[in-house]
Amino acid sequence: MKGLIFSVKRYSVHDGPGIRVTFFMKGCPLSCRWCHNPEGLSPEPETVTRTDRIGDMEFFQNEQAGRYYAVGEILEIVERERVFIQQSDGGVTFSGGEPLMQTPFLAEALKACMSHGFHTAVDTSGYSPADNLTKIIPYTDLFLFDIKHLDDEVHLQQTSVSNSLILENLRILIDSGKDIILRIPLIPGMNDDPGHLLRLREFIIETRRDNVKRVSLLPYHAIGSSKYKRFNIDYRMSGIQPPSPRRMRELKDFFSETGIEVKTGG
Amino acid sequence: MIISERVKRLREQSLNAVETISAERAFLITQFYKSNEAGELSIPVKRAKAFEYILKNKQLCINADELIVGERGPGPKKTPTYPEICLHSLEDLEILSSREKVSFQVDEEVRKIYRNEVIPFWTGKSNRDRVMELMTPEWLNAYNAGVFTEFQEQRAPGHTVLGYKMFRCGFLQLKEEIREAKSALDYYNDGQAFEKNEQLKAMEIACDAIIMYAHRYADELVRIAEAENDPVRRTELMQMAAVCRKVPAHPPESIHEMLQHYWFIHIGVITELNPWDSFNPGRLDQHLYPVYMKEMKEGTLSKEQLYDLLGSFWVKFNNHPSPPKMGVTASESNTYTDFCLINLGGVKADGSDAVNEMSYILLDVIKDMRILQPSSMIQISKKSPDIFIHKALDIIRTGFGQPSCFNTEAIIQEMLRQGKTIEDARNGGASGCVETGAFGTEAYWLSGYFNLPKVLELTLNNGYDRKTGAQVGLKTGNAEDYLSFEDLIRAFRLQLNYLIDIKIRGNNVIEKTFSGWLPVPFLSLLVEDCISNGKDYNSGGARYNTTYIQGVGLGTITDMLTSLRYNVYDRRLVKPDELRKALEADFKGYEQLQHDLVYNTPKYGNDDDYADQHAVMVFEIYYDAVNGKPNTRGGVHRINMLPTTSHVYFGSVIGATPDGRKAGKPLSEGISPVQGADKQGPTSVLKSASKIDHMRTGGTLLNQKFSPAFFEDEDSYKCLTALIRSYFSLDGHHIQFNVVDAETLRDAQKHPELHRDLIVRVAGYSDYFNDLGEDLQNEIILRTEHGDV
């Protein structure tokens, strides 16, 4: 069984505790306007053009974005990082794209990592049949769960899908007792108006259980724009400025009133 | 800030002092050598008398506000020269004063003394003249081609750090030891007894000389105290006078006395000669801690006084640029910090954790002083608390480049392998950039950098150097003559062994010139067991005597070999003769090939065994060529892997290389990957770097650049700490962090005036970014910024 992965990040320190290896899995059912990983959208390998520079000369080279990995290869990569993972109480994270789009592979990979003693995490949009989620729960130590917008209409408009399945899945996860970090992308003009922020905070207070360990605020950043060009996808976020550090500090204080630890980034 | 207004003023004084050449020492040593007395003496005694003569006639300097006295020259940053080692011509002085980077002011008085006194006397007589005359044509060919550099060509050997003994003992006690050693001389059975007696006589003179120098200061302090109007300063000056009356003759008993005691010793060492990698106090937290505790208990020292003393001590180091060079290196070499590396942490002689309150106090001082010298490092052992590392990261994150991080267990294991006792190993540390040594007991000399990629270039060109037009290596064939990769490696090994032998022959001759003509009786007092052996430091008197050759360009040569194997022998993408043509053309007309070599070829630094196996291969060949070959001092040659700035010079003498590097570009530094070749992040770099066996070296240098983003919160600190500890559990010797973003650096290149305080880690030491040459600046910018990956 193989999984399609578009990027492997070592010394990944924002996708769960400690030093981790993060596998970015290709394919996503959502289409968020602010997505900074457009290469994760399509569930197929793609050919992109890479531009290399030698002095003033440019070289164009076709390159495949996305490659199929066997579970054994995943383990081999993680094993090579074992010393760092062990020393830092780190682990392995599957992110995306949406990893649950490749649930059979994901479950196998998580199981293998867990049986080799690695802490496992899954970074998910929560948009997947509940069945898929149940399949990976036993092999996942930590879920990084995105909450983008609580209003279904806005959610649909901004991400192209409804949030009802997502919120139901969150309930399942909370009931499973597994550790959860709630991740809130803060997108200026999309979900950061005072009304929505208050609603979000209320929602967190209502939903929280002991296994909700942290709220992570992920400020929008413009890293995606050049990538979009390469993937020939329209970039719909032009002109939007990332929130200032001061604003992030204010929001951190705001969400701290949930009683849960709040972190900016990761 | 914990530093006081006084220390701030001292710091400003030091930062604003202008580098100036002082002819004082050159004039005095010339006067002495010309005197009738000098002609009558044995060489060791003559050197001791010269030392005494300088200390007797050298101008004293007491700066406003300061608590610790003594300068290398007549004032801060007034830098002496050493004509008995190497003689600056009037032209050299001109270059030094007019060069763009790190210039030294040279006034008319200096030129006059040089023209009328120094140059006429020393022409043809400096040790450099002697050395150059003694070298073989093969040595000169290899040297001119840039196969290696020679440390002892313009400076004296002296890679040594002060140990425990000298912080507990006064020079009167050393005189006692000398008397005992003299009386134990056995003229019946020891054919060397007479020579030993001369050495011991010389050491005794050196003892008296340093005490006399301290007493001159005591007298002067009293004199100016009496004229001082401010009663507070007057009391201070009187106290300082009392300290100088006591140390270094007697053992120091307070923090003030300890710091002044050390500083007189420091001045003595760098006045006697200009030893490389300046002498330093080593494990300063260990030395100061017991006295600090005693003073705290007895209430004789307040925290404010402590920080004033330490701040005053700190600027002393910064007042001392290392002596400027001559000849070609006067224009080329522009790093002129001396390399005082203060060690914090580590373990005690009994193996227990040595981190103490003084370690943290000194970290505070380093943080607040923020000056180039002294440099600092932390020794991290398995027993060191995480908070110790976090406190160091607090300083590192500011982009200051200090302190660097060392693996105590590695340092100890390296020394045990070399046959040192476990106590000597635990009492040791690293000095200079990353060099392992037993403090207070070892003379570990660095003899020169060795250009590993140059040897491979020669191997591909039948030993012929196109740049100098000389047959430098053996005639083992051209690139196209090697039918397999194994053939190529065989030829490389032959070339390397041949060139290393040339270097070692040179070392063994040069060591003898120092032993014969330039003994160092004062330095010999400080390093055990020179007194009991009746032997000079420069002649093997120390307990341990090691000679190092520093391998440079491991990343570059690994990528060269990887590319040759991958593209020529495995993939057959390019024929050897075609590759040779491309290299000769510096890739003009071969850009597509260059692109393949740079972007589509495995590289060292990515935890890719295909590439990394060649690092191990080169390491083993280099180790076999050097390790264990005898030096002249009863010890052996060993290897370490560090470049200082030589990777820039070494790159300038090498044409285009098979890894796609253009002619003249810098080589990789230390054991770091080629700049920009590491694409998988820091863990992969550390994995690659740990594949060579650090334990069989005397130090390796790994530079890792991080953007400030990696230091943002406690979680980041934990990850960085884990990263360091992981590398050390893989037996890595040293890692240092450059924390700065490329944008800042580019801006600093454009607007140097706005970034005068920008300090970056270069390679084992830090320097002002503005003082670096443009290539070096560009290289630092290029080094992968992992934060942006």
State pLDDT tens for residues B376-413: 999 999 999 999 999 999 999 887 888 999 999 999 99
User: Is B592 near chain A, with CB under 8 Å?
Assistant: yes
| pLDDT score, position B787 | 37
Structural domain of A188: 2-264
Nearest chain B residue (CA) to A16: B715
Specify the amino acid at residue B475.
Answer: K
Specify the amino acid at residue B613.
Answer: Q
| pLDDT score, position B57 | 98
Strands B375-380 and A142-146 come out as unpaired
pLDDT in tens, A87-106: 999 999 999 999 999 999 99
* Model pTM score: 0.94
pLDDT in tens, B92-144: 999 888 887 778 999 999 999 999 999 999 999 999 999 999 999 999 999 99
Does the beta-carbon distance from A88 to B687 stay under 8 Å? no
| pLDDT score, position B764 | 45
pLDDT above 80 (res A222): no
Average pLDDT over residues B170-196: 97
pLDDT above 50 (res B785): no
User: Is A43 near chain B, with CB under 8 Å?
Assistant: no
User: Is A221 near chain B, with CB under 8 Å?
Assistant: no
DSSP letter assigned to residue B67: S
Which position has the higher pLDDT, B477 or B320? B477
User: Is B712 near chain A, with CB under 8 Å?
Assistant: yes
Does the beta-carbon distance from A84 to B729 stay under 8 Å? no
pLDDT above 60 (res B597): yes
Residue B781, classed as helix, strand or coil, is helix
Average pLDDT over residues B637-645: 92
| Under 8 Å between Cβ of A119 and A141 | yes
Residue B585, classed as helix, strand or coil, is coil
- The proportion of chain B whose per-residue pLDDT surpasses 70, expressed as a percent, equals 95
Give the other-Cβ count within 10 Å of B759's Cβ. Answer: 21
Average pLDDT over residues B426-439: 95
User: Quick one: tokens of B567?
Assistant: 């593209």
**Least confident among B392-401, B541-550, B714-723:** B392-401
User: Is A108 near chain B, with CB under 8 Å?
Assistant: no
Tell me how far CA of residue B344 lies from CA of A118, B283, B350, in angstroms.
35, 6, 17
| pLDDT score, position B335 | 54
Nearest chain A residue (CA) to B382: A87
Helix residue ranges per DSSP H, B476-608: 485-517, 521-526, 530-533, 554-563, 576-584, 591-599
| pLDDT score, position B786 | 40
| pLDDT score, position B638 | 98
Q: What pLDDT band is residue B329 in, cutting at 50, 70 and 90?
A: low
Residue B321, classed as helix, strand or coil, is strand
| pLDDT score, position B328 | 60
Burial code (b: 16+ CB inside 10 Å, e: under 16) for B125-156 equals ebbbebbeeebeebbebbbebbbbbbbbbbbb
| pLDDT score, position B287 | 98
Report chain B's mean pLDDT, rounded to a whole number.
93
The interface predicted TM-score of the complex, written ipTM, equals: 0.95
| pLDDT score, position B754 | 64
CATH number at A32 reads: 3.20.20.70
Which position has the higher pLDDT, B308 or B331? B308
| pLDDT score, position B784 | 38
Specify the amino acid at residue B626.
Answer: V
| pLDDT score, position B758 | 67
| pLDDT score, position A266 | 64
User: Is B719 near chain A, with CB under 8 Å?
Assistant: yes
- Nearest CA of chain A to the CA of B616: how many Å? 18
Q: What pLDDT band is residue B3 in, cutting at 50, 70 and 90?
A: confident
Enumerate the active-site residues of B. 433, 435
Residue showing tokens 């009392």: B242
pLDDT in tens, B458-496: 999 999 999 999 999 999 999 999 999 999 999 999 999
The DSSP annotation for B677-712 comes to T--S-HHHHHHHHTTS-GGGSS-B--EEEE-GGGGS
Q: What pLDDT band is residue B789 in, cutting at 50, 70 and 90?
A: very low
Q: CA dihedral defined by A93, A94, A98, A100, rounded to 10 degrees?
A: -120
User: Is B664 near chain A, with CB under 8 Å?
Assistant: no
Tell which B residues from 572 to 591 touch A, by Cβ distance under 8 Å.
587, 591
| Best of B691, B718, B730, B731 to mutate (most A CBs within 10 Å, chain A) | B718
Tell me how far CA of residue B628 lies from CA of B12, B554, B569, B641, in angstroms.
48, 21, 34, 16
Residue B461, classed as helix, strand or coil, is strand
Helix, strand, coil tally for chain A in percent (to 5): 40, 30, 35
User: Is B188 near chain A, with CB under 8 Å?
Assistant: no
Chain A contacts of B712, Cβ < 8 Å?
265
Tell which A residues from 59 to 78 touch B, by Cβ distance under 8 Å.
59, 61
Which position has the higher pLDDT, B646 or A201? A201
| pLDDT score, position B139 | 98
Does the beta-carbon distance from A84 to B726 stay under 8 Å? yes
Helix residue ranges per DSSP H, B373-518: 386-396, 408-417, 422-426, 452-460, 485-517
How many structural domains comprise chain A?
A: 1
Tell which A residues from 187 to 216 touch B, by Cβ distance under 8 Å.
none
Does the beta-carbon distance from A84 to B723 stay under 8 Å? yes
- Sign for the pseudo-dihedral over CA of B430, B431, B437, B440: negative
How many residue pairs bridge chain A and chain B with CB atoms within 8 Å of each other?
Answer: 69
